[in-house]
Amino acid sequence: MQYYIHYVPGRMRIESPTLHENPAKVKEFEIFIKGITGILAVDSYAPTGSVIIHFDEKKINCEQLIGILETHNYFQLIGAETFDERIKRGTEKALEAAEKIFDIAEGGIGEE
């Protein structure tokens, strides 16, 4: 698993190997993050290491939040996959699968 980030104003979703399948670490994370000024809500899912953080941009911005998460070893921005990269990777996998199916279908027609 690798780090992932998706941001829209006031909302950030991350996935972290540190939190992946680690309910105790997720609980620790939730307590920690809720103590930061400007955090409005946190939704987490330990099986995937996914966390959605809602925050007040007048009190804390995305860059500050990422810095805090990196300092406390919950996240690493360098090498984190973005939403666009994830969509591209998924699309490429789907196209590869479609090509294989098409190749099999063509092979099956030629054998008749």
Laid out side by side, the sheet with 11-15 consists of 39-45, 50-55, 11-15, 4-8, 81-82
Whether this model's pTM surpasses 0.75: yes
- Which option is the CATH number for 4-79: 3.30.1650.10, 1.10.760.10, 3.30.1360.40, 3.10.129.10? 3.30.1360.40
User: Domain ranges in the chain?
Assistant: 4-79, 83-112
**Dist CA 68 CA 48 (whole Å):** 21
Note whether 44 and 24 are within 8 A (CB): no
Positive or negative, the CA dihedral 87, 89, 95, 97 is negative
Write the pLDDT tens digit of every residue in 1-29: 899 999 999 999 999 999 999 999 999 99
